[in-house]
């Protein structure tokens, strides 16, 4: 695969870009929960078939691009393996309640100014 961007003659004659494909859905080595989180983390790098595509083309040699693609995959899997910390619900602060009420008042004032015929109240 040819790399894009600057690089002169080397970029035009050497296929140093790498595309790593990892089938997240069918991988037996990933637990189900990790696979689901990995698919969420992958975003648009995930195909409709559940294949994660990582492209590396920053280095001049194919070997270094391969290593970088593998490292990026490992980082994504590591990040997906950490379960998210559950959110502990907290009560709204007094200031946030006050801001909410002020905004509601402003919206009400805007709506009062709308429409209506003169003398109709």
Instruction: Tell me the per-residue pLDDT of 34-43, one tens digit each, with 9 for 90 and over.
Output: 999 999 999 9
In a domain, 121, yes or no: no
In a domain, 114, yes or no: no
In a domain, 104, yes or no: no
- Phi, psi (5° rounding) for residue 74? -60, -40
Residue 47 or 117, more confident: 47
Token pair 């997240």 is at which residue? 24
pLDDT tens-digit readout, 50-60: 999 999 998 88
Domain containing residue 61: CATH number: 3.30.160.20
pLDDT of residue 36: 94
Measured between alpha carbons, how far is residue 12 from residues 9, 16, 45, 59, 62 in Å? 5, 10, 26, 14, 14
Q: What is the pTM of this model?
A: 0.68
């Amino acid at each position: 695969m040819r790399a894009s961007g600057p690089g002169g003659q080397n970029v035009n004659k050497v296929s140093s870009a790498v595309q790593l494909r990892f089938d997240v859905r069918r991988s037996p080595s990933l637990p189900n929960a990790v696979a689901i989180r990995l698919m969420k983390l992958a975003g648009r790098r995930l195909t409709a078939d559940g294949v994660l595509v990582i492209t590396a083309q920053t280095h001049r040699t194919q070997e270094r691009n391969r290593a970088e693609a593998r490292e990026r995959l490992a980082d994504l899997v590591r990040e997906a393996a950490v379960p998210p910390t559950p959110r502990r619900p907290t009560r709204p602060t007094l200031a946030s309640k006050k801001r909410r009420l002020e905004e509601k008042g402003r919206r009400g004032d805007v709506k009062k100014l709308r429409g209506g015929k003169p003398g109709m109240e």
